[in-house]
Structures are given as structure tokens and as C-alpha cells.
């Protein structure tokens, strides 16, 4: 099932093929998504209801649930389940609350003061996947930093279930977040609705949330054709595990399968310095697969995954940084020296007792992370994702005397006379 490659024997082309994932060579996904976006822009709610019938197999009378309906669904889950969601909420809130910091005023020269102030993005859209798996944890991961940031309007979209409602766990998270409406829209059509607005769904300033390749493509398209920005490209989930002879094969297999069960386009990579451990992991994967409820999905994802045999942890880190995984797990006793070697990764899990699923749910860090190699240039979602940082400056008489001639000279050498005059006229008044 898992193909095995020796790192030092890979040609440049073979290596690149392993690093590439979730490509759309024939533009089939882009063409489909572009059509969906155009339909939503043109026909609004009518298109959304038609897509709900086509993709979600449900006829919707209205496109949202209100506070009363959310409360009824939320109260349908058990007390233990409520408590688990509350603990996750508290940990995620505690971690993210520290990210909202006031910066100090800097006096760059006497009388010249500069600083930045934080302002929330006013209207944000949160996409909560709900296809083969319902993800209330994603609502917490997006809703909590949005609330901490102070966003005035938070629009939540998630696909409807067969009964035209949402999962009770998602409803309870809405209750924890004090969000009183959720829109029953999924896929690329949800992204289009939030980007352009419909009769029911308000247009937002920025769209957040992971999804399949169609959702990811929709986010990239609307960012290019509207004034809406996105958090990052966050598509099918992926994990890369680095393991040596100290690793427990059962732990490694469980971590690989935890990603594989997300969906058939997920990817789970093992980079191992010990062939005996690698072989043991393969056997464990086969064994653990047998009892997974989502076995069929996980098996297909594992067919799209592979093992890399490396000569050393240093070599393993070279491959990992080239791959730039969404999740990186260092299942080795020697994880401390590797921390400084991590250049490209969405989130990192250290040692044998730190499963990636802890970060997915309740450790406190955010699980909305860049995939498909975008960890080379993107960070995961944080409170910073939901705010703008605006610069301020204030110059007094002393400051104008200090900086005035510098600005005049620079404006003149660039041939911008009005820029120079804006300073000169003030300096003249001070004489």
C-alpha cells in the first residue's frame, strides 16, 4: 500500500513529483468552480438552494438557522460532549488571547513619533467543512480568534445535513461563541456567497476556513476577482512524520491514519531513518486500518501516501523543509535539536506523546494551517489574521526641524516637488 523511496536515490524530477500534490493539470476543478461562482453572482439565493439540492441532497426553504433553532440543536448533545467542547474552547481562547498585544510608541528622532494600532476586520466569513466529516473544532479555531480580535460581524457557512440542519456539536460551539445565525451553504458556492453577497448572506471583507480542492480553488479565484481577501490556501489535510529507531511504530501508524481518514485526497508521509521501524509502521497501518469506521477513505488516502528512507535526521529535515507540511510530527527522542532546523511547516508536534490530533482539538494552537506547500510562505490562522495593523505618526516642531531637510532632499531627488513643498511650507511658517 505505502510506496517506499530512498531519499538519496531520488532524482530531482522524482523528488519534485513527490513534493507536488493536489494539482489540477487539466483545469477541471478551476472550470467547475468558476462556473459555480458565476452562478452565485448572477442568481444569488436561488443558485445556493439549487446547489444544496444537487450536492447536499436537501431542499432548503431558507438558507440559515436562527438562535432558537441553534439552541435546540445544541441542547441535544450529552453533558460530557458539552464539557469536552468547553475545555477545547478554554484552551484555544487562552492561547490566542496572548496574541493581541499593544505595541509601544517609537521616537525615531526627537519629536518624530511612530506607532501601530490594531483594528479588527469588520466583516469576516468563516467556512466550516461538513462533508464526509463534521468539524465543530474548526468553528472554535476560527470563531475564537475572530471574537478576540473584535470583528463586528461574523458570518458562518457550513453545508446542511440531510435533515436540512447542522450537527449539534457545531450548534453548541455557536452557542459558546455567542453567534446567533449560521448559513446552510457549503463548498465553492459558500465562498462565492461570502465574497459577493446574496439576498440572504452578507458580503464579507475576508474569508477563512479549510476545505477540499473546490473550496480552496474558490478562495483563490474570488481573491483575484473581488475586493475580498482570504486567510490562506488551506486544502486537503496532510501530515509528515519524522521517525527514528526510538519511535513507537503503533504511534506513528496512528498519526498517519489520523490524517488519512480526513478524505481520499489527504496525504500522510513517513520519513524514517530506520528501515526496521518503517516496515513495522507499515504492518501497524494495515492492522489499525481494519477497525477504522472510515477505513475506505483512509485506504485511498494511504495509496496516495509514501515512505521516505533517510540516512539521518538531518536528511529527514531536508526533505521535510522541501515538502513544507501542514502538520509535522517529530517522533524521536532527539526532537529538541531539530526545532531550529524546522523552516517550513504549519504546526509542529514534538516527541512521542504529542499526537497531531491534540492540536486538532484542544491543546490550544490553531488547526487552520497552510497545505500543499504553502507553509513555505504562509502562517496558520491566529488573531493577527483577523486584524489590520494601522501605522500612526505625529511630528512636533522639534521633529519637523529634525526631519524636514531630509524629506525635502529625498522628494527633490525623486522629482516630486509637491512632496517637498508640503514640508517647506511648514518649515517656513516656523521661522
Q: What angle do CA 357, 359, 364 make, to 5 degrees?
A: 145
φ, ψ for residue 392 (rounded to 5)?
A: -125, 150
Q: Which residues have C-beta within 8 Å of that of residue 291, sequence separation ≥ 6?
A: none
| Residue environment code for 203-240, b if the CB has 16+ CB neighbours within 10 A, otherwise e | bbbbbbbbbbbbbbbbbebbbeebebbbbbbbbbbbbb
Residues 207, 194: contact at Cβ < 8 Å?
Answer: yes
- Other beta carbons within 10 angstroms of residue 75's beta carbon come to 12
Check 327, 331, 356, 367 and give the catalytic one. 327
Check 326, 331, 356, 367 and give the catalytic one. 326
DSSP type of residue 2: -
> What is residue 119's three-state secondary structure?
strand
* Rounded-to-integer distance, Cα 164 and Cα 220, Å: 28
Cell of 258: 489520523
Annotated active-site residue 327? The verdict is: yes
* Rounded-to-integer distance, Cα 63 and Cα 386, Å: 25
Annotated active-site residue 153? The verdict is: no
Residues 268, 299: contact at Cβ < 8 Å?
Answer: no
* Rounded-to-integer distance, Cα 218 and Cα 192, Å: 7
* Rounded-to-integer distance, Cα 336 and Cα 317, Å: 13
Cell of 388: 489590520
CA R_g for the chain:
25
Which helix (H) or strand (E) segment is 238 a member of?
Answer: strand 238-243
Catalytic annotation, residues: 326-327
Amino acid at each position: 500500500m505505502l510506496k517506499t523511496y530512498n531519499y538519496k536515490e531520488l532524482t530531482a524530477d522524482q523528488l519534485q513529483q513527490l513534493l507536488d500534490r493536489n494539482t489540477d493539470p487539466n483545469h477541471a476543478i478551476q472550470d467547475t468552480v468558476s462556473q459555480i461562482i458565476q452562478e452565485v453572482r448572477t442568481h444569488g439565493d436561488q443558485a445556493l438552494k439549487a446547489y444544496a439540492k444537487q450536492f447536499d441532497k436537501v431542499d432548503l426553504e431558507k438558507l440559515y438557522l436562527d438562535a432558537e433553532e441553534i439552541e435546540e440543536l445544541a441542547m441535544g448533545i450529552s453533558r460530557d460532549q458539552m464539557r469536552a467542547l468547553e475545555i477545547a474552547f478554554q484552551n484555544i481562547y487562552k492561547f490566542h488571547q496572548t496574541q493581541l498585544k499593544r505595541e509601544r510608541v517609537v521616537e525615531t528622532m526627537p519629536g518624530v513619533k511612530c506607532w501601530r494600532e490594531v483594528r479588527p476586520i469588520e466583516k469576516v466569513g468563516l467556512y466550516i467543512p461538513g462533508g464526509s466529516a463534521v468539524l465543530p473544532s474548526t468553528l472554535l479555531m476560527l470563531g475564537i480568534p475572530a471574537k478576540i480580535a473584535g470583528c463586528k460581524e461574523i458570518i458562518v457557512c457550513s453545508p446542511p445535513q440531510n435533515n436540512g440542519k447542522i450537527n449539534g456539536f457545531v450548534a453548541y460551539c455557536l452557542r459558546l461563541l455567542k453567534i446567533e445565525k449560521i448559513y446552510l451553504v457549503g463548498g465553492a458556492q459558500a465562498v462565492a456567497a461570502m465574497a459577493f453577497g446574496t439576498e440572504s448572506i452578507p458580503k464579507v471583507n475576508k474569508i477563512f476556513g479549510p476545505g477540499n480542492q473546490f473550496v480552496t480553488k474558490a478562495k483563490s479565484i474570488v481573491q483575484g476577482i473581488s475586493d475580498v481577501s482570504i486567510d490562506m490556501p488551506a486544502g486537503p489535510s496532510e501530515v509528515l512524520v519524522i521517525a527514528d529507531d526510538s519511535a513507537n511504530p503503533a504511534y506513528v501508524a496512528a498519526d498517519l491514519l489520523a490524517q488519512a481518514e480526513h478524505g481520499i485526497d489527504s496525504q500522510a508521509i513517513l520519513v524514517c531513518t530506520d528501515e526496521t521501524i518503517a516496515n513495522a509502521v507499515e504492518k501497524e497501518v494495515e492492522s489499525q486500518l481494519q477497525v477504522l469506521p472510515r477505513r475506505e477513505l483512509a485506504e485511498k488516502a494511504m495509496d496516495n501516501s509514501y515512505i521516505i528512507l533517510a540516512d539521518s535526521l538531518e536528511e529527514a529535515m531536508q526533505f521535510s523543509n522541501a515538502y513544507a507540511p501542514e502538520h509535522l510530527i517529530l517522533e524521536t527522542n532527539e526532537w529538541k535539536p531539530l526545532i531550529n532546523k524546522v523552516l517550513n511547516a504549519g504546526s509542529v508536534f514534538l516527541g512521542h506523546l504529542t499526537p497531531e490530533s491534540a492540536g486538532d482539538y484542544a491543546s490550544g494552537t490553531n488547526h487552520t494551517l497552510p497545505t500543499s506547500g504553502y507553509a513555505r510562505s504562509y502562517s496558520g490562522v491566529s488573531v493577527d489574521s483577523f486584524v489590520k495593523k494601522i501605522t500612526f505618526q505625529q511630528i512636533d516642531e522639534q521633529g519637523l526641524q529634525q526631519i524636514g531637510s531630509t524629506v525635502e532632499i529625498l522628494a527633490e531627488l525623486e522629482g516630486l516637488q509637491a512632496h517637498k513643498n508640503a514640508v517647506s511650507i511648514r518649515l517656513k511658517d516656523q521661522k
